[in-house]
Chain A
Amino acid sequence: MRRSWRPLVRWLVAALVWLPSVAHAQGTPTITVTGMRGLLFGTLIPGVQAPVQPTDVARAAWFDVRAAPSSQLQLVLALPLALQHHSTAEVPLRYGPAAAAYSITSSTADAIAFDPAIPFTVTLPASGRVQVYLGATALPPVHATAGRYTAVITLTAAAVGN
């Protein structure tokens, strides 16, 4: 008797339809990183340093990171060395060893400082959320060209462990 492979194919197609929902329900360790606010220095004065603290709720950079509760994430910040003018002019940036902070309560009040230049590992709380804040000091030269300066800050969150 000739064996048909069609039942097997039907089973696999059904599995393809059904399994994704199972996988989702089982909590596939999805990570989301969202840039919530840029690092805002406002108007700089040539020759005058301008620090922004990571706990500055209006001007510090702010990322929202979400993943499964209790998962461990390694946070890596790619830090620009300077803000760039559309010409070749630059405003150097300096990051201290406590220029970054994270909070598991969505509040800067209890944020814990860390060095943004070093990859940092955090264990997510039951909420599955952690807020990452970044400050810096802008060092506009005395003869800085007037105008708008920008730079890109990148946060990468990667699962570590199991």
Chain B
Amino acid sequence: MKEHLLSAGDLDAGDITRILDTAAHLAKVTDRAIKKVPTLRGRTVCNLFFEDSTRTRISFELAAKRLSADVINFTAKGSSVSKGESLKDTAITLEAMGVDAIVIRHGASGAPWRLAEWVDAVVVNAGDGTHEHPTQALLDLYTMRQHFPSFAGLRVAIVGDVLHSRVARSNVLALRTMGAEVTLVAPPTLLPARVETWGAGVSYDLDAVLPKQDVVMLLRMQLERQRAGFFPSLREYARLYGLDARRLEAMPEHAIVMHPGPMNRGVEIAAEVADSIERSVIADQVANGISVRMALLYLLLGGPAVREAPGVAVPATFEEGAL
């Protein structure tokens, strides 16, 4: 494993498989009467959130608590950030208080990389601007693996506001690493420049793409990040790119519907599709997020703090049973 988790592109197939396997084992902790293991006792995880979040922050908090780590929740509102404190000074303050991991969400793309340069703590990117959201991609892959035996040749359509989506970029990176075939579907105005270099197919026609997919992932229309008119009206967008009951029928019988949340019901996804018990795995994605983040925290924080113990030889691999 890497020292931080900044980009889904930093993970090779072995890393991703290891994270998903570990998550599958840790998922069982959630089913137990005592939903807690003592693994990360004495470690402190700081959730440093400069943007609003419900599921990601709570998911990270629950994951850390189930591993017995201490959790600090920091939100920009009500902190010294509203007095004008910079990210660097905030980071140095947290470091001085002795946190072992910083989970950061920031509106500026690249903020986690800057943070990782300033602190010794493990940095986990929980969403930076319109750039990346690697833990979302990992929980999405975990959810796909619950339904499909292999990623090789798995056909995944990612539909909607790709331009503003950190979820899309991280998913394309991770899915490509695992050998899936990704198609991005959006109106031309909502596709980023040089999208052809992403290694994914591109289509403007949702109805043509749907019958061939194993997974259809809708993206949230991120109106709060849109500074121009990218499409004439929400109603027209919903008619051309929204997943409704009719389009659900056009999908193969086995195909699943995903959405990273929060949903704009009636825009990118119709309420009846979102609530479809047979096809929608949106609630599973939320539940799986906890297991995947537990696995990540375990793999990132469960090893030796190399930087604090120079001169101590650490074996590159650990052999099970050698206790």
Query: Do these two chains really belong together in a complex?
Result: no
What residues of chain B have their CB less than 8 Å away from a CB belonging to chain A? none
What residues of chain A have their CB less than 8 Å away from a CB belonging to chain B? none
